[in-house]
Amino acid sequence: MRPGVWLAGAAVLAFLLLFLVLPVGRVFITAFLDADGGFTLGHIGTFFDQGLMRESFFNSLYVAVMSALWAALIAVPLAYFTVRFDFRGALLIQTLGVLPLIMPPFVGAVALQLIFGRSGSINLLLGEHLGFTLPIMEGLNGVVFVAAIHYFPFILMNLTVALRNIDGAMEEAALNLGCKGWRLFWRVIFPLAAPGFVAGASLVFVKVFDDLGTPLVMGQTNLLAPQAYLRITQVGLEDPLGYVISVIMIVFSIAAMALSARALKGRDYATLQKGGASIQRRRLTPAAAVAAYAWIGLVLLLVLSPHVGVLLLSFAQVWSYSPLPDALTLAHYATVFQDSTGMIQNTLLYCGLAAGLDVVLGVTIAYLMLRTTLPARQWLDWIATASLAVPGIVLAIGYLRLYKGMVIPGTELLFTGTWVMIMLAYAVRRLPYALRSCVAALQQVHVSLEEAAESVGATQLRTIRRVVVPLMAGGILAGFVTSFITAAVELSATILLTSAESQAPMSYGIYLYMQSVAGRGPGAALGVLAIVVVAVGTYISHRVVERTGQRFAAQAPVGVTVGGKA
């Protein structure tokens, strides 16, 4: 093996150790260390002795489970409709699948408060005309409501893919043996797609369990993530309970992911074979069409309400105790452009650098993993992917603790006080997304293409540059964009790591604005800008992925399986 391979592996490993493993390890150690530096379970005991902590723990569980449940209720019918029926609504559902994700959930929370809150539009109208109100946004259920409409696309997308991959013959065999309708769905279709469902649902669970922004904005602090945040910011970096909470959050994230991995293990039901057809599409009967459109319409209304709410809010002069804003204005946008151009620039800078770093790491890890015999290369993938289980706030706490007091050489600047910290946190948190993109892209490049280059005289490095990377370009760009847009709406690490307002990115700015009633207008305007950035990015990555897919499809000769398994 060439020294370059070792060097690349060592560099990646160093990065992962410094900015993921060691900070998180530090959090774990601190949670189990007593004042004298000995091992103790005392902090864990303290945690469960405190009523507030116990309550937060069970609240977090409740919110995460209920959110996954409600998200499933929204997503399962939609996924089934798209795959099963031949109707125009399918495109609508695709759109539904992206819309919520392009908006940070805590922004949506503010808008939903205005529409579904106690004195929101819906309840004002209900109270006035029908004499009752719906406590949708009250308490923990409010968080569940916001989370469910924000995160259901994870289930929708995973389940749709899983359903699409079912070999049509699987269903036809059941029909042939006399099975139809609901029984067909429950006995054959859903079990075959279940791994996709479990993957999506566990993702929702983890996301909600770790979410900091939404509960904070909604004033629900008796949950784990807000408690960790409050402990660290108010009691101080030395308070062990903040670390115990962090450990619990990681353990639950890992448990949820392990569960999903277990569910998927040996059950790769992607049964569609080359040249096989997916399950057959049908025409909807008129009655079914009405029902389907009604459901889609209802979900669309729900899903769009945060967007509409934020948009209205960004143009509203005053919007309080009325179903709709009293008057419209552009003043908030003017404020934002006057005060917050720095934030927009910061977001572009941090997220651009982080996403760049991610694809470089992603390509390197993918290549080491799939194309070299570097010992323990799989570990790079596992470590990088493990960051999915690390909540942003935990990573931030780890950074603050591990690099406490460290000064950048040659300056007086504290390492933890620079924006580099924020950028690195983004890079580590979004690395799994970019990595998966890069791995998928490299798997599509058949080894023989590289061997051909080497046989005509290109060195390994030249082959990577002239053959591998160009062929991976689509996947790399998709990975970049995914990292970029998800980092742009990241709040939990940002809140803790932003040490000066001049360093604040947009997500932090929105959060700050939303703290005061007067700031809601500009906050919403900034939110609209963030949504536009994310929407454009999402669209670009979607197009790129689609186009690359077509290119590869056109290239693959008949009989040659594209992918590593051939």
Partner 1 sequence: MKKVSVQCRNIRLSYGSTEVLKDVNLDIQPGEFFALLGPSGSGKSTLLRLIAGFNRASSGQLLVDGADISGQAPWQRNIGMVFQSYALWPHMTVWDNVAFGLVERKVDRATLKARVGAALELVGLQDYGARRPNQLSGGQQQRVALARTIVIEPKVLLLDEPLSNLDKTLRVQMRQELLALQRRLGITTLFVTHDQEEAMTTADRMAVLDQGVVQQVGAPAALYDEPVNTFVAQFVGTMNLLPGRVRERRGDGLTLAVEGVGDLALPLRADAPPGETLMLSFRPHSLRMGTPGAEQVSSCIALAGTVEAREFLGEVTRYRVRVGTHSLAVDHPHRAGGAAFPVGDVVSLALEPSQARLLPR
Write each residue from 126 to 165 as x if it is in contact with partner 1 (CB under 8 A), else as -, in one continuous string.
----------------------------------------
Instruction: CB nearer to partner 1: give 158 or 387.
Output: 158
Q: Is residue 170 a contact point for partner 1 (CB under 8 A)? A: yes
For partner 1, which residue of 174, 288, 291, 540 counts as binding (CB under 8 A)?
Answer: 174
Instruction: CB nearer to partner 1: give 263 or 473.
Output: 263
Spatial distance between the Cα atoms of 288 and 280, rounded to a whole number of angstroms: 17
Spatial distance between the Cα atoms of 285 and 397, rounded to a whole number of angstroms: 56
Instruction: CB nearer to partner 1: give 69 or 170.
Output: 170
Closest approach of partner 1 to the CB of residue 129, in Å: 47
Closest approach of partner 1 to the CB of residue 276, in Å: 6
Q: What is the footprint of partner 1 within residues 280-319 (CB under 8 A)?
A: 280
For partner 1, which residue of 176, 338, 373, 411 counts as binding (CB under 8 A)?
Answer: 176
CA 94 to chain centre: 17
Given a contact cutoff of 8 angstroms between Cβ atoms, the answer to whether 304 and 99 are in contact is yes
# of chain residues touching partner 1 (CB under 8 A):
24
Q: Which stretch binds partner 1 (CB under 8 A): 117-125, 126-134, 168-176, 446-454?
A: 168-176
Q: Is residue 559 a contact point for partner 1 (CB under 8 A)? A: no
Spatial distance between the Cα atoms of 431 and 482, rounded to a whole number of angstroms: 10
Kindly state the helix (H) or strand (E) to which residue 228 belongs, with its residue range: helix 224-230
Residue with structure tokens 């289980």?
Answer: 389
Cβ count near 37 (within 10 Å) = 8
The one-letter code for the residue type at 289 is A
Q: Is residue 561 a contact point for partner 1 (CB under 8 A)? A: no
Q: Which stretch binds partner 1 (CB under 8 A): 180-188, 358-366, 418-426, 522-530?
A: 180-188
Instruction: CB nearer to partner 1: give 283 or 466.
Output: 283
Closest approach of partner 1 to the CB of residue 349, in Å: 48
Given a contact cutoff of 8 angstroms between Cβ atoms, the answer to whether 292 and 284 are in contact is yes
Write each residue from 228 to 267 as x if it is in contact with partner 1 (CB under 8 A), else as -, in one continuous string.
---------------------------------------x
Write each residue from 186 to 205 as x if it is in contact with partner 1 (CB under 8 A), else as -, in one continuous string.
-xx--xx-x-----------
End-to-end alpha carbon distance in the chain: 24
Closest approach of partner 1 to the CB of residue 281, in Å: 12
Residue with structure tokens 């060691």?
Answer: 22
Q: What is the footprint of partner 1 within residues 261-280 (CB under 8 A)?
A: 267, 269, 271, 273, 276, 280
Instruction: CB nearer to partner 1: give 184 or 420.
Output: 184
Packing angle of the helix pair 506-514, 341-371 (nearest 10 deg): 130
The one-letter code for the residue type at 124 is L
Closest approach of partner 1 to the CB of residue 194, in Å: 7
Q: Which stretch binds partner 1 (CB under 8 A): 106-114, 169-177, 233-241, 329-337?
A: 169-177
For partner 1, which residue of 17, 45, 134, 180 counts as binding (CB under 8 A)?
Answer: 180
What is the b/e burial string over 313-322, where b = at least 16 CB atoms within 10 angstroms of the residue's CB? Answer: bbbbeebeee
Give the side-chain half-sphere CA count within 13 A for 163: 25
For the chain, give the longest Cα–Cα distance.
Answer: 81
Grouping H, G, I as helix, E, B as strand and the rest as coil, residue 348 is helix
Cβ burial, residue 256 (10 Å; 0-12/13-18/19+): buried
Q: Is residue 18 a contact point for partner 1 (CB under 8 A)? A: no
Instruction: CB nearer to partner 1: give 166 or 383.
Output: 166
Q: Which stretch binds partner 1 (CB under 8 A): 184-192, 292-300, 455-463, 526-534?
A: 184-192
Helix, strand and coil percent figures for the chain, each rounded to 5: 75, 0, 25
Given a contact cutoff of 8 angstroms between Cβ atoms, the answer to whether 372 and 1 are in contact is yes
Spatial distance between the Cα atoms of 94 and 87, rounded to a whole number of angstroms: 12
Of the candidates 415, 411, 387, the one whose C-alpha atom is nearest the C-alpha of residue 400 is 415
Binding site residues, partner 1, CB under 8 A: 167, 169-170, 172-180, 183, 187-188, 191-192, 194, 267, 269, 271, 273, 276, 280
